Amino acid sequence: MPRCTDAFDFNTYVGRQAKLVEAALDASCPEQYPETITKAMRYSLLAGGKRIRPLLCLAACELVGGDPAVAMPTACALEMIHTMSLIHDDLPSMDNDDFRRGKPTCHKVFGEEMAILAGDALLSLSFEYIARATRGASAEKVLRVIADVGKAVGAEGLVAGQVVDILMEGNGGQGAGLQTLQYIHAHKTGALLEAAVVSGAVLGGADEAQVQRLGRYAQNIGLAFQVVDDILDVTATTEQLGKTAGKDVAVNKATYPSLLGLDESRKIADRLIAQAKEELAGFDRKRAAPLIGLADYIASRKS
């Protein structure tokens, strides 16, 4: 991961925050009866990963002068939703993947029925957890966060992107031009990243102008994240990715590299990251350092 500024060590920051997030995630989903379902939930939720969504949420809260502890339940909820999407995405009826984060996928360990139910339970728990566990924020702010996160995961967000992705894959990628690809990425990946940043900002006390600027920051890094993902599917190995490499090519899926080539795709990712950082220009640079570092990390990640 990159080093952001002379006064800010990004690796140290991420290591510190990741420990807090992991502890909070562990506490958010205790094992209880019937153990089979909570074990399946915890298996995927605690399987590691970059924790980008929780980190973005906490960093946005701190950026506007808020207490990250107030945003931690939402940060956990966002990771629950992300985990749900991965569990369902890996199912035989979707991407049919055997590995995720270097481990057998949920349905390979617990069976398809339990994997579906584990994803459903994590989605339900995410909203309950925001409502029950958030302390130090007004009911109005919590309600806005719940509404924004709900929109990001539903038929106007993650689900919408997944639907169009499936339709285009079923069509052999035909008709999936750049505009369609941008729609897929903005909804399937970008919507939840935007919700993470905006939720953290709202809980931290941001004004509406700040929320709008941080929303644009998140839109840019969300699209960049997926462009880099497309690139890695072509250039990285299964061992590096922790999931099956080359699947996009295997199913003739439209991606940035397939439409524009690797060099142009890398340029687009770099341009999106630069635009994202521009949205942070008016904020205190020290407080913005984590979000700048996260943007750089998204651009340079190898898995």
Quote the pTM value.
0.90
Q: Please determine, for residue 1, whether its predicted confidence score (pLDDT) is greater than 50.
A: no
pLDDT band at 133, cuts 50/70/90?
very high
Q: Please determine, for residue 231, whether its predicted confidence score (pLDDT) is greater than 50.
A: yes
Tell me what the mean pLDDT of segment 159-178 comes to.
Answer: 77
Distances (CA, A) of 119 to 83, 93, 146, 297: 7, 14, 18, 28
Nearest to 212 by CA among 67, 51, 60, 79: 60
pLDDT at 3: 45
Q: Please determine, for residue 101, whether its predicted confidence score (pLDDT) is greater than 60.
A: yes
Write the single-letter amino acid at 146.
Answer: I
Distances (CA, A) of 90 to 247, 265, 303: 12, 26, 17
Please write the tens of the pLDDT for every residue from 35-71.
999 999 999 999 988 899 999 999 999 999 999 999 9
Among 128-137, 187-196, 228-237, 293-302, name the one with the lowest average pLDDT: 228-237
Q: Please determine, for residue 279, whether its predicted confidence score (pLDDT) is greater than 90.
A: yes
Q: Are strands 99-100 and 103-104 parallel, antiparallel or unpaired?
A: antiparallel
Cα-Cα-Cα-Cα dihedral of 68, 201, 278, 228, to 10°? 70
The three-point CA angle 216-19-275 to 5° equals 15
Q: Please determine, for residue 106, whether its predicted confidence score (pLDDT) is greater than 60.
A: yes
Tell me what the mean pLDDT of segment 222-229 comes to.
Answer: 92
pLDDT at 5: 45
For residues 112 and 290, give the distance between their C-alpha atoms in angstroms, rounded to a whole number: 38
| ω into 290 cis (within 30 of 0) | no
Name the one residue in this structure whose structure tokens are 């701190």. Answer: 62
The CATH number of domain 10-300, selected from 2.20.28.10, 1.10.600.10, 1.10.150.20, 3.30.230.10: 1.10.600.10
For residues 277 and 220, give the distance between their C-alpha atoms in angstroms, rounded to a whole number: 9
* Domain ranges (residues) in the chain: 10-300
Helix (H, G, I), strand (E, B) or coil at 99: strand
- How confident is the prediction for the chain on average, in pLDDT? 90
Cα-Cα-Cα-Cα dihedral of 135, 136, 138, 139, to 10°? 10
